[in-house]
Each structure stands twice: as structure tokens, then as C-alpha cells.
A and B are shown apart, each in its own frame.
Chain A
């Protein structure tokens, strides 16, 4: 079954090229990509900062010097649940923003998608393009965001309570939390691209080519 073989090959081979194409379309729509990446970055930075700050506070409460513990105990517990709520909201806003930007990208590239399908692209390949593009933005935004969020909070604690804090940083959990935040950022950017990608792949090539933007 030589035909079958060829069809299989066609399916497997295109990952590297899909990656190259997504990278290029990010470059072409650089302005918008930067905005989307920035929004992911801010969301993740916010999330990381809340997680980091809670984690450092807890550590200080348990092991920290007496005077810092007293200050921390006066901060009410209620503010934490409010923070969680805010983080959730900001991440939701992120998803909406990503979806919106990917939808624009799909509309813009309708004809391009149609053409690619004429040339033999599978729906899977088209979906892969959009998911990859969004995931790439997610990876960059999340790493930058986690870094900013964590270092920001650490600096804040240092300024507020002095250099002793450095000895009470729960390094392992900080690492864990920022890893979690990065992961969540990437998952969110993929989630935001799923619907637009699905839409773009579902179009018949004839219809996609007809549509003028």
C-alpha cells in the first residue's frame, strides 16, 4: 500500500514546518502578538505575585523574626480570598483577549488557510498552526510574567522588612509556584486558541477562498 504510506508521511512530517510558519506569522503580526503576549505576561505576573507573596508570608509567619510576624498577623485573612478572586478574573480576561486576537487572525487569514488546504494541508495542520502560534506567545509571556511577578514580590518584601527576609525565602515552593503559573499561562493561551483554530479548520476551502477581508 504505497499510497497509504505516502498519506501517512504527509501527516507526520509537518511539525517543524508548522512551527516555522507560526513563528513567521507572529513576526508578521508583531504588534498584536506583543499585546497578546503582554496580556498573558501581566496575568501570569499577577498570579505569580499573589502565590509568591502568600508563600513568603506563610514562611515568615512560621519561622520569621518576631517583629515581622507581628506585622504580618495584623493583615487580615480575608484579603487573600479577594486576591484569588482577582487573579481568576484577570486570567479569564486573558483567555478572552487571546481568543479575540486569534479570531481576528483567523478572519484575516481566511484566504491563506483556504489556499493551504488547496495545496493539501490537513485540518489538523491548520489547527496546529493556530495552537502553536498562541502557545508560543503563551510560553514567552508566561516566563516573563512569572519572572516579573516573583522578583517584584521578593523586592517588595526586602524593601518592607529588610534584608533578613532573604534568609526566609521558601525557595522550593517559589520555584513550584512559578512553574505552576507558567504552566497555567501556557494552558490558557492554548485554550484561547482552540475555538478560533477549530473554526478555521472547519471551513471548506472554496468558502475560505471566496471570502474577501
Chain B
């Protein structure tokens, strides 16, 4: 099977202006991501991971450079196409879960399907099925505040997968979870990644996430420091962990 490119980032730059001061957050990122890949983006706080995610996910506009999703330049899309991209092509998972508080777990999961134009009965049926897959079959009628953090993140995972996207963007999905729960979420993502062949891109500080990654992208001060293949990684995890401790 030839390797298809799902995401291509070319010389991506993003500046923010704080008054007159220009803050260069991304300083020329080059990145290519293949279909079915599991990629972790590692980097210290403030290195620009979230900013990069927002650009890849079409949630914000780059100052310069291009993002291609499935060979389509995101900057060229009109409002409808962009909404369609966010709805169908990409599933988002956030550190703070970002569920809609007034909706039940099931309604949260069916919402993206409703935006995609799926009929009510079909979306409910599929929503229940996905919630079962993430192990929440018995909590479908619960509101987010009635669920634990880990359960909420499971709902968010289910929601991200609702429209069978090509890409999952997860920005520190385990940041607000304890170790064990975080690991469960990661395993869930990895499982979906293997079974459905979606590309998973996650940002994290968490070294345990590296275990499941095909590649790890190290980013520092808005540029990519190095990209490591899984094979190289195994040798280095010890060293990395030492670095973190020190």
C-alpha cells in the first residue's frame, strides 16, 4: 500500500501581536504526516504545540505558510468547506474535554453527526454504538457534570470519532487526568488508530504517550528540533526520562 499524505505543513509561521510587540510563536514548521500514523508532538510549555494544532485543524489562520489536508490548501477553503472539513475530516480532543455542558453524553456525540447532516435515528444509533466502544454504554443519558474526568474524555473521544474522520487532533488529551485514566485514553486512541486507520496527532508532556507513537516530533520555541522514528525512540526513552527528572 503506498503511503498517502494526510497532512502537509509548509513553512508555517504564526505571529501574535501584543500591542506593538510581535510575538513569533511558530517560526517555520515543516511537517508531513501519513495516513494511519500516530504522531506525538512533544515540547515544553509555550513552545507552540497548541498553536500548531490550531493551524493544522483549521481553527486559526497562519500568518505565513501553508497547511494541506488531503492535498487541499486549508487557506483556500470558504466558510462552508471549512466547516465541512472540521466536521468530517478532523476530530478534535481537548485537554479540558470541552463537552457541551447542557447536553447528555449521547447528545454530545450526536452533535457532529447532526452538523454533518446525518438523520436523527441514524445518529442516535451510531452514537450509542460509539459510546459502547469507549466503554460508556451505561452512561449515555448522563450530563458531563455527572461524569468523572476520564469518562468525560471518553465522551470527547467518542465525539471526535463520530463522523469517522481521517485525522484526530488531540491536544494534551491526558493533561487533566490521572496516570491510569490517561493511559486508558491513550490506549483507546491507539486502538481506534489501528482499527480504523485514522491518523492520530497528539500533543503531550507525557512520556508514556511516546510508547504508542510511530513518530515523535520535538518542538522547541516554535521550530521542530528533531523528529524521531519509533525504532530510535526505544533506545532513548531512558535518557529522556533522565532529562525530565533533571
Contact = CB atoms under 8 A, between A and B. Distances in A.
Interface in A1-43: 3, 6-7, 9-14, 17, 24-25, 28
A118 B59 contact: yes
A58 B186 CA distance: 77
B87 A119 contact: yes
Interface string A90-131: 000000000000000000000110111111111101000000
A69 to B, nearest CB: 58
Given A10-B117, A115-B98, A119-B159, A205 B80 contact: no
A209 B115 contact: no
A10 B60 contact: no
A120 B87 contact: yes
B161 interface: no
Contacts of A10: 80, 83-84, 87, 115-117
A180 to B, nearest CB: 35
B111 A119 contact: yes
**B interface, how many residues as a size bin?**
20 to 34
A24 B102 contact: yes
Contacts of B80: 7, 10-11, 122
B88 interface: yes
Interface residues of A, number: 31
A123 B80 CA distance: 9
B86 A115 contact: no
Chain B CB count within 10 A is highest, among A11, A12, A120, for A120
Contact of B102 (A6, A28, A118, A125): A28
Interface string A51-76: 00000000000000000000000000
Given A14-B115, A119-B86, A119-B111, A7 B59 contact: no
14 contacts: A6-B84, A7-B81, A7-B84, A10-B87, A10-B115, A12-B117, A17-B114, A115-B98, A115-B100, A117-B83, A122-B79, A125-B115, A205-B54, A205-B59
Interface of A: 3, 6-7, 9-14, 17, 24-25, 28, 111-112, 114-123, 125, 204-207, 209
Interface of B: 54, 57, 59-61, 79-81, 83-84, 86-88, 92, 94, 98-103, 111-112, 114-117, 159, 163
